[in-house]
Structures are given as structure tokens and as C-alpha cells.
Amino acid sequence: MALSHELSLLQWFVLFVLLWQANCKISDNGMEYLLRFLFQFLHLLGVTCNCEYLIQFCAMFPTSLFVLRQLVHLDRDDFVKYVVCPSCSSLYDPGDCTQWIRGNIVAKCCTHKAFKKGKGAKECGAKLAKNVLLSDGKTCFYPFTMYCFNSVINQLEAMLKRPNFAQKCEHWRERNVTDGLYSDVYDGQVWKDFMTYNGKDFLKLPRSLGFALNVDWFQPYTRRSDVSLGVIYLVLLNLPREERFKWENVILVGVIPGMETMPKSINPF
């Protein structure tokens, strides 16, 4: 029973710390320093005061972010990562960034050809990774930049498992709006056009979902204005308008990395 109480207290502490990190924009390195300090401080306090309960509590205390997130079963990184060409923004599998040439590993170059009329279309040719010499003398290759993609299906499955979520997605069918009055997306012609598609019911069918695709750019740092990231996200239009843009109901599709120049096209992403 005592162990159960200690675990509950620890999980409560972990949830607060993670919320504090997110709201106050604390870096992962800062969090690691804080956890190690708290562990040492609480352990020393328990030994000094001869408090067996505090010593036992410290034995469960996380000293790394990995363990911290494991305690609350937080899967932080469900992203699929792609290497981005720094020149044309084409995407590649991380395993396709290097190749063997004459017994040596070298960085691959982008093979994308921009669409041009007539002949003479050339490959991009930009290197996909840079080689870094480690302290032990080994050479490793790291992509210049990465694109993180999040599965829409997995996120949607998690949302539909919430209590009453599926029912909320059907409320729009029960609306009574005067003809000619536009109070939401359902009153527009685009939504009406997709009630049927190719002569068959589409949005008319139960559990049919419509999304709005959004792309926006933001600066992740408060003290720097030279770094800008892009975000691609979906909003489920079936939800009531007051629920639609809540954080827990927004589907993050991908994070477009900051690059030296803005991508000419976001189609690859």
C-alpha cells in the first residue's frame, strides 16, 4: 500500500513537471539538470533526517527525461522522420543518405529533377548529409535537416476512442438553420457538394469525416527571429465549432524544419 502511495505521488509530481516544462518553455537540458539536483537534494535530506520513507521515494525518483516520461506512459516521439534536401525540399528515407564508393561511405546527393519544359532538366545535386568527425576518430553522417511526419490514422483512432467523441461528430446532422444563412462550414457550397460524390453518398454516410488542412509558420524562440518552423495540421470539421480548434482535437500532421531559405513548394511535405 505504501509503495502504491509513493508511486501515485511520484506520478502527480511528474505530470506537474511536464506541464511546467511545456508552459514555461524549459529546455530538455534544463529539465535534466533539475531532475538530477532534486534527486541528490531529496536523497541527502532523507539520509540527514533519517527518513526511510523519503529514501525509498528517492529510489523511484527519475533522474532522466526518458524515465520521467515512462512513469506516465508518455510516448513522446511517434513521428516518422525523413531527410530533407536543403536545396529543393525533396524527402528521403534516413537510410538513403549515404552510399559506399570505393570502400568508403560518402553522402548521397539529391536526385530530384525540377519540372521543366523540353530537354535539359538537371538533378538537384545538393548533398543530403554532412560528415562529422567524432572525438574517437570515426566519421558519422548527419542529415542537414529532418521532416517529422505524424500518422493521421493513429491520431484519429486515439480521438475516436474518447467517450462521446464519435457522437459529437454526428451533431452537425441535427442542425436547423434557415436557408440562406451561413453560420458554419456545413452551410457552404463545398460541404454540400461533397454530400454525394460520383452519384454515391459520401458525407451523407454515417461516420464520414471532413477535414480542413492548415499550414502555418511560427518562431519557436522568443529571443531569435531568424528561425521559423512550419506546421501542417488537420481540423475535424464534423466537430461542433466550439470543440474544433481545441488542442486535443487538432491533428498534427508534420513539422516543416527551419531552413536557410523558405521552401519553394511545400508539396513534398
Between these two residues, 106 and 224, which has the higher pLDDT value?
106
For residue 264, tell me if it sits in a domain: no
Between these two residues, 87 and 222, which has the higher pLDDT value?
87
Tally the domains of the chain.
3
In angstroms, the Cα distances linking 267 to 215, 260, 263 are 11, 18, 10
Of 177-181, 218-222, 235-239, which has the strongest mean pLDDT?
Answer: 235-239
Confidence of residue 116 (pLDDT cuts 50, 70, 90): low
Q: Are residues 139 and 182 in the same domain?
A: no
Inter-residue contact 72 to 11 (CB < 8 Å): yes
Q: Residue 145: pLDDT above 70?
A: yes
Helix H or strand E encompassing 152:
helix 152-160
For residue 263, tell me if it sits in a domain: no
* Phi-psi domain of 102 (left: phi exceeds 0; alpha: psi -120 through 50; beta: other): left
Separation CA 204–CA 196 (nearest Å): 7
Q: Are residues 98 and 127 in the same domain?
A: yes
Structure confidence by residue, pLDDT tens digits, 89-99: 899 998 888 88
Q: Which of 71, 103, 127 is the last residue of a domain?
A: 71
Give residue 48's domain range.
2-71
Confidence of residue 118 (pLDDT cuts 50, 70, 90): low
Q: Are residues 105 and 65 in the same domain?
A: no
pLDDT at 1: 46
pLDDT at 234: 96
Phi then psi dihedrals of residue 206, to 5 deg: -60, 145
Q: Residue 3: pLDDT above 70?
A: no
Helix H or strand E encompassing 81:
strand 80-84
- Mean pLDDT rounded to a whole number for the chain: 86
Region 58-74: mean pLDDT is 82
Q: Are residues 162 and 210 in the same domain?
A: yes
Of 4-8, 124-128, 248-252, which has the strongest mean pLDDT?
Answer: 248-252
Structure confidence by residue, pLDDT tens digits, 177-219: 888 888 899 999 999 999 999 999 999 998 899 999 999 988 8
Q: Taking the CA atoms of 269, 75, 129 and 26 in sequence, report the sign of the dihedral they define.
A: positive
Cell numbers standing for residue 219: 518562431
